[in-house]
Structure 1
Amino acid sequence: MTITRMETGPRMSKIVKHSGTVYLCGQVGAGETAAEQTRDCLSRIDALLKQAGSDKNHILQAIVWLADMEDFAEMNAVWDAWVEDAHAPARACGEAKLAREALKVEIIVTATEN
């Protein structure tokens, strides 16, 4: 079976495709607030999924990491507006120390191709 790696660098690939499944590396966004970062992060996910031949309605699972669970409601408000009815993926959300202090949100997505 073929594995396709896209946007590959020395440390990781942003997209890996295998047997009709699309794996995205963790995405973070720009902005000061959790809402701004979530909005930007989801925009990046949309762009990567499109590049991989998929879209948000084909997401199987999302893992959301928050630097502080106090941002849960703020992140969810943006997430809920982004996810289309009847296409919500399986999702987990937890608190973790992220790679940079300014980061508030990181999202990891697995999807199917269109």
Structure 2
Amino acid sequence: MTIRRLEAGPRMSQAVIHGNTVYLAGQVGSPGESVTVQTRTILGQIDDLLAQAGSDKSRILSATIWLADMTTFAEMNAVWDAWVDTANAPARATGESRLATPDYKVEIIVVAACD
């Protein structure tokens, strides 16, 4: 079975496709932006990567969301809830973690089915 890598770099690929599954790297927004703006940016990046892999948000199997501060949970959820395919909501976990830089407030990782 082949492995295909999207937007591959020396350290990581933004997505790896194996079989009918696509694994996305953790997506982050622009440092210093609000949780709302970062979440919107991230979800747009996820849409783009899934499209490149022959998938879309209705085929997301799981999502892991890291917040720098859990007090922003409702703010992130407001953007997520407007974006997610409610007929095909994925399994999801959300936790608090120190991210790569204090300017990142949200990181989202998804695994999805693809063609």
TM range (shorter): over 0.9
Give a deviation string over 1:28-83, Cα, whole Å, max 9, x none.
11262111100110000000100111100000000000000010000000000001
1:23 deviates by: 0.4
1:102 deviates by: 0.5
Which runs of 5 or more residues in structure 1 are unaligned?
none
CA distance in 2, matches of 1:15, 1:32: 24
CA distance in 1, matches of 2:12, 2:86: 32
Q: Which moved more, 1:28-37 or 1:71-80?
A: 28-37
Match of 1:108 in 2: 109
Match of 1:6 in 2: 6
CA distance in 2, matches of 1:32, 1:13: 24
SS of aligned partner of 1:109: strand
Which runs of 5 or more residues in structure 2 are unaligned?
none
1:87 deviates by: 1.1
CA distance in 1, matches of 2:47, 2:2: 24
Aligned pair count? Answer: 114
Match of 1:32 in 2: 33
User: Which residue identity lines up with residue 24 of structure 2 in the other structure?
Assistant: L
SS of aligned partner of 1:86: helix
- 1:71 has 2:72 as partner: yes
CA distance in 1, matches of 2:73, 2:82: 14
SS of aligned partner of 1:45: helix
Give a deviation string over 1:1-26, Cα, whole Å, max 9, x none.
11111211110111100110000000
